[in-house]
Amino acid sequence: MTDGPAADPIRHTGEQAPSSGAAPMIDPFGRAVSYLRVSVTDRCDFRCVYCMAEDMTFLPKREVLTLEELDRLCSAFIEKGVKKLRLTGGEPLVRKNIMSLIRSLSRHLASGALDELTVTTNGSQLARLAQDLADCGVRRINVSLDTLDADRFKAITRWGDLGKVMEGIRAATDAGLSIKINMVALKGINEHEIVPMLEWAHAQGHDVTLIETMPLGEIDGDRTDQYLPLSLVRARLAERFTMADIPYKTGGPARYVEIRETGGRLGFITPMTHNFCESCNRVRITCTGMLYMCLGQDDSADLRAPLRASEGDELLHAAIDEAIGRKPKGHDFVIDRRTRKPAVARHMSVTGG
């Protein structure tokens, strides 16, 4: 059962486009902010070992932005020049009536104000929602998948069901969605599965991106035991595959290669071994309306207060401009035996992946 159009409809006052005269977002380093990632919920139906503690305490509903507020907030950023919008979580597709928000935001695709509306998901809800996403103009999704082994999948996600995720990936493929598999490389856990993942994904026509674990949030384990430098992974892969650097970009921080033997693309997201901040065009908003100008810094701006203070967007635009004026040059991530505490205390599930 999917969310019908009548469920929790989003009311808005018409098309919003950059033609309104809202100032574009240029940070202190001359980078234009054109990519917004929005966490629509901090809740998730998994408890991945590198992302959450198993006994998570989630936010009270009154602190979380309503779907109408999320729509208004996203629309304000689109008005100020955002061309790519990604919905994240937690797990975005477990948010009640999430499809009503996605349907509403799709009006910006129809108007041409927005180039791309995408979703990052764990895949658990795709079997029922993939076709709805495609019908709303979503063309590409990221699916977080760290292993193809059912037992290991259960160990990593704690609560996840690999069979359900694979069913969802098939449904997304059948709906015509392009899929990128996001795999967090974890030392001693799934590093031996990187080659099988590549071969499987490329055979299915999916891209793969490998991600280094990041020091975000207190978890039950020790990240120094999980951290696997992708420089080492790439060197190992080069012994087996012919990899050529390519200029392909999706708007995010991944650097891509093409693998001759499989014909597929492989991306590397390396916040630890290779800081990718020099070209950052992204900001993130939490489900409570906190704007983070950098994933790896604590500096933030409260957008919920100006959002709720007025029906107009003047206060909201002013708050956004002030925050973008403070966007830092980059993050300061460190993982080592001396720095056991996370660089940032908030969990990835709170900030949005």
Residue 89 backbone phi and psi in degrees, to 5: -140, -140
Q: Is 34 annotated as a binding residue?
A: no
Q: Cα dihedral sign for 306, 298, 88, 203?
A: positive
Tell whether residue 50 is among the known ligand binding residues: yes
Residue 287, marked binder: no
Whether residue 280 is annotated as binding a ligand: the answer is: yes
- Residue 41 tokens read as 């919920």
Q: Are 120 and 84 in contact (CB under 8 A)?
A: no
d(CA 129, CA 144): 16
Confirm whether residue 90 is marked as ligand binding: yes
* Residue 48 marked in a binding site: yes
Q: Is 88 helix (H, G, I), strand (E, B) or coil?
A: strand
Residue 260 in marked binding region: no
296 is in an annotated binding site: no
Rounded-to-integer distance, Cα 209 and Cα 207, Å = 7
Query: Which DSSP helix (H) or strand (E) runs through 55?
Result: none
* 270 known member of a binding site: no
255 is in an annotated binding site: no
Question: Do 302 and 296 touch, CB atoms closer than 8 A?
Answer: no
Cβ-Cβ contacts under 8 Å for 30 (sequence gap 6 or more): none
β-pairing, 116-121 with 84-88?
parallel
**180 belongs to an annotated ligand binding site:** yes
- Annotate 131-189 with three-state secondary structure: HHHHHCCCCEEEEECCCCCHHHHHHHHCCCCHHHHHHHHHHHHHCCCEEEEEEEEECCC
Residue 128 assigned ligand-binding role = no
CA distance linking residue 93 with residue 129, whole number of Å: 8
Does the annotation place 80 within a ligand binding site?
A: no
Task: Judge if the upstream peptide bond of residue 90 is cis by omega within 30 degrees of 0.
Answer: yes
For the chain, what is the total number of helices (H) and then of strands (E)? 12, 12
44 is in an annotated binding site: yes
Residue 37 marked ligand-binding: yes
Q: Give the separation between CA 298 and CA 173, rounded to whole angstroms.
A: 37
Binding-site entries: 37, 44, 48, 50-51, 86, 90, 120, 144, 180, 214, 277, 280, 282-284, 294
Output the known binding site for GTP. 37, 86, 120, 180, 282-284
Annotated binding site for [4Fe-4S] cluster: 44, 48, 51, 277, 280, 294
Residues that constitute the known binding site for S-adenosyl-L-methionine: 50, 90, 144, 214
